[in-house]
Structure 1
Amino acid sequence: MDNNIAKRIQSLRDRLAYMQDIFAGKHADNADLLRERLDGFEKRATDGSLDDPFAELATVEDLFSYVERRLENEITPMDRVRIVRHPQRICLRDILENVYDNFTEVGGQDEHSLDPSMLIARAVIIRRRGKKSYRQSVLVIGQEKGHGAEFRNGGSVKPWGNAKALQYMRVAETEGIPIHAYIFTPGSYPIEDYPGAAQQIARNIYGMAGLRVPVVAVISEGGSGGAEAIGLADRRLMLSHGYYSVISPEGAAAIEGRLKAGERATPQLIEHCAENLHITAEDNLRFGYIDRIVQEPPLGARPWHFDFFRTLRQEVLRATDEVVISTRRPMFRGLALSRRRSPEANLDEMHMRWGLSPAAKNRLRERRQQKFLRLSRNAARDRRPFLAKTATAFWDWATKPWVTFKYDFYRRHRRKLSGFMEEMGNEWDTFKTRLLSPWHRLARSGGGKDITASELTALSAWSGDGRRRKWNYISPRYKIDRAVTCPNSASYGCLDLWGPDLFAEFAGVCSHCGYHFPMEPEWYVKNVFDEGSVFEFNSEIEAGNPLNFPGFAERIAEAQKKTGAKSGCMTFEARIDNIKMVVAMLMGTFRGGSFGAAEGFKFVEAAERAAKKRQPFLAYVHGTAGIRIQEGTHGVIQMPRCTVAVRRYIESGGLYMVLYDTNSFAGPVASFLGCSPYQFAVRSSNIGFAGPGVIKETTGMDIPPKYHRSYRALSRGHIQGIWDRRQIRANLKQALMTIGGRNLYYR
């Protein structure tokens, strides 16, 4: 048999195996037909009974192509998941070799240098204008899965891999070159070694929100936090067979099926969840979370689809050009954009400079931030009356000039004047001291008050009245008329505690070891802030079911009835010893504190309110289980969206603090909470990226006891301190008075 024919037969067998893998037993009749035709051809080609083997082989190849095109219309969302996970799927190295003209890899080359799951490269694109060629540099980052390369860890990036990506994104910003991010990940590796998975993803998202160079992201497999770590971009493209989701269909099935450890979800339930999560490119384009779909060949792009790589190159160039053009003044945009959006345009022949002026860089960053702030607002139920919303908008518009004058002009110049007067006062004090120094020496020589030995050695007088604290709110559990055993009793020998004492006078704190039992959100609202100072706003915004996920509307209604809250986030203004602040509280009592579109809406509004009023912004995390999976990408988009709001608040001079309690995991910790420079935790709380069950399922590792305890987060630098519940009010006041300053909103 001719060697070329043998290679083409093997290629067809690979295509057949690929087809069987992605359809998982479905369409078996098509697979049987193709196998029968291929086996028959190979048998005749081996015994030499074919007059023209190349012509007949071409016929078999045409049959394969016909079947693939026909099955393309039968692909389900779960089939797409299997496509992007398949070893034959294109990977980032394929893209570097076929889309770019040259590249040098600078990170993640092997198992022992950096994280091999994160590939970073400096690439070159050669474009022309007329007869002249131009070389344009670009930074390429992305998860590298390889074609079944085990050491690549399936594209699950460890914290140091994301840290390296952020480092080189800042290098690209310094050098003024665009960033192309390719997302090929089922999710980040859930490990809490330094700096911690959640903390590093939060740093990446926060950093990307402020980059002053064009950023284009291409999504193939976008798994939750791992995708967002490099996904906050000016233009987001998505491959037509890719998926972008808050969680894998298998993970959603495990939650929906309430499976216990070791149990497996049925294929039917997994297919059902994949469909209801709305994870496809068409779904995300309709939601507005991507800007364009890059069409792939039937059944997905593989390394030998060279036409696809040419298409991808054109789309990436077009997206980068559009981002650069969008920073120009309106009179220069229209013609340039229309030329590049034409289907017949060959962007290799339409070179344009990607460099930006300082003013254009600022416009670019502002447009990116505004883009993400606008996302998902329609996915939340805004029950505020029309007149109330109109009045609020009018009041904001009417008071903006006064606020700008008061804080940006008057107070700034008053500080300058106060600084000048302070310096003059210091100079006058120095002059006066020197002028009167002879008189002071004469006065001291005349003698003074004798200090007795008892005054030097006596203890200070205790000023307290010795009474125990009386709380404004007492947990309903104080009515438990029985003894409660501390979880640490086996380790520290804690005696049993009487319920009325533990949950009333002791504020849920073990009197022996200091273990903190969980308390209700109301305990903090009533006991931490000044009595009568709490004013809730946006309470009419409520959680809903934007994907019409089966049975979820009833569960939301049940949670609303049980807690009396309309969403898992309560936003309010409050005071501590008359220090005003804005607070966003994530309530663990509302479906575990899961975070969705309504919660994101309220959090962004709270950050903007704090900025307008020049007040500190506190995120109190009573508990959060992560992003609400039943909302799909409506939930996961809150990670970059809320982080953008937080960054804008901090950069405008705001003081943003986070306080964790009970259990805080997943998306919120890996984004808008984890990016705060001032994070604290209540004792006995748990903080991390993924729970023990998820870590066991994804890595196969059994984590040690108390792996997520707050003191471990403190040891790796995630948080800056651990507080006793009974001292939260005093510690918050101290933090506001000491961390705050002339350039921070704190009074």
Structure 2
Amino acid sequence: MKELFKQLLKIEERINYLLQIKDFSNWGNLDGFKITCENLKQNIYEQSKEKLAGELRKLDESISFLEERAEEHLTPMERVRIVRSIQRFSLKDILENVYEDYTELGGQEDANVDPAMICAKATITRRIKNKPITASVMVIGQETGHGEEFRNGGSCKPQGNEKALRYMKVAETEGIPIHFYIFTPGSYPVEEGSGAAQQIARNIYAMTKLRVPMISMISEGGSGGAEAIGLTDYRIMASHGYYSVISPEGAAAIEGKIREGAKVPKELIEVCADRLKLTAKDNLERKTIDRIIYEPPLGARRDDFAFFAKIRAEMLRATDKVVLSTKSFSALRTYEIRRKKHKPANEEELQLELPWDLNKEEIKRLLSLRSKKYHAMGKNGFSGQAEQEEGVYNLAKVKTEKVYYTLRYDVMKNHKRQVRKVMSDVSGEGSVMLRRITEPINALMDMWGKKKKEKPQRLIAYTATNGNSETPAQRVDPLELTDTYTSPLANSDKTVSCPNAEKRGCKDLWIPDLYGEFAGVCETCGHHFPLEHQWYLENVFDSGSIRHFNTDITSGNPLNYTGFTERLRSAQIKTGNRSGNMTFHAKINGIQIIVSMLYSDFRNGTVGSAEGEKFAQACALAKRKKRPFLAYIHTTGGIRIQEGTLGVTQMPKCTMAVREYIDSGGLYLVVYDNNSYAGPVASFLGCSPYQFAIRSSRVGFAGPRVIRETTGDDIPPDYHSARNALKRGHIQGIWDRRDFRRNLHKALQTMGSPSLYYRQ
């Protein structure tokens, strides 16, 4: 009877699992089967063994039939529910069943630095020539737990991602591969400390050039939380998992324009889950992952030991594949892996004779392949082609420019710098020797009172001129705003009150003055009213210096998201541009720079495949020509949800481009304005060493509503203010709009390496 009772409990567990997947609807009479189970439990000792066994057999057959039907017709949202089930396997289950041994780092259980992120030094045994060989790996991933509240559902705080970065660097020092496991609905949206967005950006930036093989497996990959440990050389995804730019519920709230506190319709959530193309099959088709691990029907659970054996074999094969791609002699071993490409990995198969440690040349190839992988992400998400890649002439021009600028600025200029350094050293030594010779003579002359009086040294103050000035009255400051454009907002003949009027006593502002002479700034308190992006184009940069490039790259609708093509066309007609990112050449007081501008008029400055491609191409151009690169963020609402993971992969792609530009000696400046949130700030913007904000702008990871719904806490009105971002160390300064041009010029003159073209 005891065994029959266990069977009954197991059947009840399966019914509850199906109910959860079907969102507790009475699909297939599940409620009736649940009631039958309850009755059998209550009357279990009143029935004979034979009768109870017969009842259990009928139940088992009925539930098995329903499980088969459910698996055949799983919707995307049902896959999301599978991933969120308390019965789903977690990282701790993987550590226990995939690896021979492990030591958790950074604390354990609820005493962990952040229990939602686990880092562990683990060992895994490989079979080579029928001999077991133990290898060390670093395992890093989110832990959802099985009902453990302190795990926060795998939603990491900044300190959790900071811990992950710390142990990534430990693995790099030790030269061992890293296995990442992604189990997160998204990062915990707080700005305190290292900040959610800024810390994710640091993680992604570091991962672009980590000198060890990195493999990741995705079960639940939610937005920036997934990308914090997702930039890897090989990305595997569980067949019943999901990888998405946003949760279906979040997408439904945005698409349905649901007011805060109102219930999001279930039907809309189902529709958005389908539109987001978040399944493993969808992601493989769009090349945002490399391989799928197939799970048993309705997903693997915490006691599915056969599936853990499959994970083990797949992670070993993937690590071998990445390492092998770096080897000079690998033809036969590569063929062996390719031969098994479409077969499921078998735990019992022999591993290749392949050491996982890499030498300098192999590390160089590893980083090169990683760069190519992420630069190619999202290429199928837009139309048009970058000018640098279009036609034989432009390709030849790019190669010629690389040679020319390398010779001019890296070779010849460096040679001049070295000669100047030697001459300076020789001159310094000579002056010391001359001083030693003349000191006795000067001492005698001083005794006889014949030493000449030294003239006081004059300090020469720099005064900017227009090049033709002859008198102080004619002098012009070239760093004043050019004042060639007045906002159309100045045409209203009325007054407006400053938001700080009650606190600071600001007087009402006459609009023609406010948006004209005052540049949208309150004269009393310095509050900055928003201005359109055209004001910056015309007034900040040298007059006539702007030359746009890659204007043919056009935002698209790669997921065929319902209604989005019309919305894109409307934005294109409204702005006259084809994407939400303007890239152009410009000058600041004669210094040539490359600029990328995300602006509010085009889909609220959101980033999709086209915007990411234009940003990466601008980085490449700035790198080639040794010019400073400015990312001016007029506004960004984050990653464009209608492009799904093709949008979210722009985070690692653009960060890769930024890292390569900075490593080449470039100066990367970011200036935030208005509202700058989410994915871009948590990646290619937040990784800049020089970030500034225009006064009155707001910078952060998530808006007040998302924070409130996620954490349950109300945040103060100034939570995302530029001043608070400065106090937290997320930005390096606050700029007044009226001093934008002057401050930008100062940054160009005082920041960056000697590699820039105008450096002496």
Q: Which residue pairs with 2:350 in the alignment?
A: 349
Tell me, yes or no, if structure 1 residue 364 matches structure 2 residue 366.
yes
Instruction: Tell me if the contact between 2:388 and 2:395 (Cα under 8 Å) persists in the aligned partners.
Output: no
Contact 1:120 1:141 in 2 (8 A): yes
**Which residue type is aligned with residue 498 of structure 1?**
W
Q: Where in structure 2 are the equivalents of 1:191-230 lying within 5 Å? A: 191-230=190-229
> CA shift at 1:440, angstroms?
6.6
**Contact 2:401–2:624 at 8 Å: present in 1 too?**
no
Match of 2:362, SS state, is helix
Is 1:485 the counterpart of 2:485? The answer is no
| Cα separation, partners in 2 of 1:311 and 1:58, compared to 1, 3 Å | farther
Does structure 2 retain, via aligned residues, the 8 Å contact 1:318–1:347? no
Cα separation, 1, equivalents of 2:542 and 2:441: 51
Match of 2:588 in 1: 576
Report whether the alignment pairs 1:636 with 2:637.
no
1:102 maps to 101
In the TM superposition, residue 60 of structure 1 has moved relative to its aligned partner by: 4.5
Match 1:689 to one of 690, 701, 706: 701
Asked if the contact 1:740–1:746 (Cα under 8 Å) also holds between the matched residues in 2, the reply is no
Return closer, same or farther for 1:57/1:29 CA change in 2, 3 Å cut-off.
closer
Contact 1:143–1:185 at 8 Å: present in 2 too? yes
Amino acid at match of 1:361: I
> Secondary structure in 2 aligned to 1:504?
coil
- Alignment partners' CA distance in 2, 1:575 and 1:564: 23
Q: Is the 8 A contact 2:674 2:697 kept in 1?
A: yes
SS at match of 1:89: coil
1:158·1:190 contact (CA, 8 Å) conserved in 2? yes
CA distance in 2, matches of 1:130, 1:173: 28
Residues 547-558 of structure 1 correspond to what in structure 2 (within 5 A)?
Answer: 547-558=559-570
* Amino acid paired to 1:669: V
Matched residue SS, 1:201: helix
The residue type equivalent to 2:334 in the other structure is G
Match of 2:718 in 1: 706
**Paired position in structure 1 for 2:467:** none
Map 1:144-163 to 2 at 5 A: 144-163=143-162
Instruction: Name which of 688, 701, 716 aligns with 1:676.
Output: 688
Of 618, 626, 633, the match for 1:606:
618
Corresponding position: 1:117 with 2:116: yes
Aligned-residue offset at 1:429: 3.2
Q: 1:323: which partner in 2?
A: 322
User: Where does 1:272-421 land on structure 2 (aligned, <5 Å)?
Assistant: 272-329=271-328, 330-331=330-331, 333-338=333-338, 341=341, 343=344, 345-346=346-347, 349-350=350-351, 352-382=354-384, 389-421=391-423
**Does the 8 Å CA contact 1:486/1:496 hold for their aligned counterparts?**
yes
- Whichever residue aligns with residue 117 of structure 1, its letter is A
TM-score w.r.t. length of structure 1: 0.94
CA distance in 2, matches of 1:30, 1:362: 59
Encode CA deviations 1:19-60: one digit per residue, 9 max, x unaligned.
Answer: 001111456225257447756876886334234966875665
1:565 maps to 577
Structure 2: how far apart are the matches of 1:429 and 1:273? Answer: 76
Which range moved further: 358-367 or 193-202? 358-367
Which residue number in structure 1 is paired with residue 244 of structure 2? 245
Q: Using a 3 Å threshold, how does the CA distance of structure 1 residues 358 and 718 change in structure 2: closer, same or farther?
A: same
Alignment-mate amino acid for residue 367 of structure 1: L
Look up the equivalent residue of 1:353 and give its one-letter code: P
Cα distance change, pair 425–91 in 1 and its aligned pair in 2 (3 A): same
SS of the counterpart of 1:233? coil
Letter paired with 2:351: M
Percent of residue pairs identical: 51
Cross-structure match for 1:666: 678
Aligned pair 1:524/2:536, yes or no? Answer: yes
Cα 1:344–1:21 shift into 2, 3 Å: closer
User: How many Å separate the matches in 1 of 2:440 and 2:692?
Assistant: 53
In 1, Cα distance between equivalents of 2:422 and 2:387: 50
Cα distance in 1 between the residues matched to 2:380 and 2:33 = 47
SS at match of 2:515: helix
Partner of 2:167: 168
Structure 1 residue 519, shift from structure 2 partner: 1.1
Q: What residue is the counterpart of 1:422 in the other structure? A: 424
In structure 2, what residue type is equivalent to 1:494? C
Structure 1 window deviating more from structure 2 (400-409 vs 520-529): it is 400-409
Q: Is the 8 A contact 1:625 1:665 kept in 2?
A: yes
User: What CA distance in whole angstroms lies between the structure 2 residues aligned with 1:691 and 1:679?
Assistant: 20
The CA RMSD measured in Å over matched residues stands at 2.6
Q: How far is 1:333 from its partner?
A: 4.2
Partner SS for 2:490: helix
Q: Residue in 1 aligned with 2:468?
A: none
Give the letter for the 2:365 counterpart: R
Count of residues in Structure 1 that have an aligned counterpart in Structure 2: 739
Shift of 1:541: 1.2
Could you say if the C-alpha distance between residues 344 and 58 of structure 1 is closer, same or farther in structure 2, counting changes exceeding 3 Å?
farther
Distance 1:536 1:267, change over 3 A: same
Deviations 1:427-463 (CA, angstroms, capped at 9, x unpaired): 2333444555577775984665999xxx99xxx9x96
In 2, Cα distance between equivalents of 1:732 and 1:175: 41
Larger CA deviation: 173-182 vs 406-415: 406-415
The two structures have a TM-score, normalised by structure 2, of 0.92
Q: Secondary structure at the match of 1:658?
A: strand
Higher mean displacement: 258-267 or 328-337: 328-337
Contact 2:383–2:556 (CA under 8 A) maintained in structure 1: yes
What secondary structure, in the 3-state scheme, does the structure 2 residue paired with 1:161 have? Answer: helix
Conserved 8 A contact 2:220-2:243: yes
Amino acid of the structure 2 residue aligned with 1:505: E
Paired with 1:122 and 1:47, the residues of 2 have a C-alpha distance of 53
- Cα distance between partner residues in 1 of 2:521 and 2:161: 38
Helix, strand or coil for the counterpart of 2:742? helix
CA deviation map 1:127-182 (0-9, x unaligned)? 22345321111111111111121111111100000000000000011111111111
Aligned residue for 1:505, secondary structure, equals coil
TM-superposed CA distance for 1:315, in Å, is 1.0
Structural mapping, 1:26-37, within 5 Å: 26=25, 28-32=27-31, 34-35=33-34
SS state at 2:69 partner: helix
Cα distance in 1 for residues equivalent to 2:261 and 2:43: 49
Q: Structure 1 12/194 Cα, relative in aligned 2: closer, same or farther at 3 Å?
A: same
Structure 1 residue runs of 5 or longer lacking an equivalent are: none
Letter in 1 for 2:203: N
Residues 530-539 or 29-38, more deviating: 29-38
Aligned to 2:562, the other structure's residue is in SS state coil
Q: Which residue of 2 aligns with 1:595?
A: 607
| SS of match in other structure, 1:684 | coil
Aligned-partner SS, 2:147: coil
> Is the CA contact (8 Å cut-off) linking 1:30 and 1:67 kept in structure 2?
no
Counterpart Cα distance in 2 of 1:615 and 1:634:
29
Q: Distance in 1 between matches of 2:529 and 2:615?
A: 27
Change over 3 Å in CA distance of 1:734–1:439 after alignment to 2: farther
Whichever residue aligns with residue 399 of structure 1, its letter is: E
Shift of 1:714: 0.8
Please give the alpha-carbon distance, in whole angstroms, between the structure 2 residues aligned to 1:340 and 1:542.
39
| Mapped pair 1:720 → 2:732 | yes
Per the alignment, do residues 613 and 470 of structure 1 end up closer, same or farther by CA in structure 2, a change over 3 Å counting?
closer
> How many angstroms does 1:547 deviate by?
1.2
Matches of 2:610 and 2:516, distance apart in 1:
33
State how far apart, in whole Å, the 1-side matches of 2:73 and 2:250 are.
24
CA contact (8 A) 2:629 2:666 kept: yes
Alpha-carbon distance between aligned partners in 2 of 1:389 and 1:661, rounded to the nearest angstrom: 37
Match of 2:545, SS state, is coil
- Counterpart position of 1:620: 632
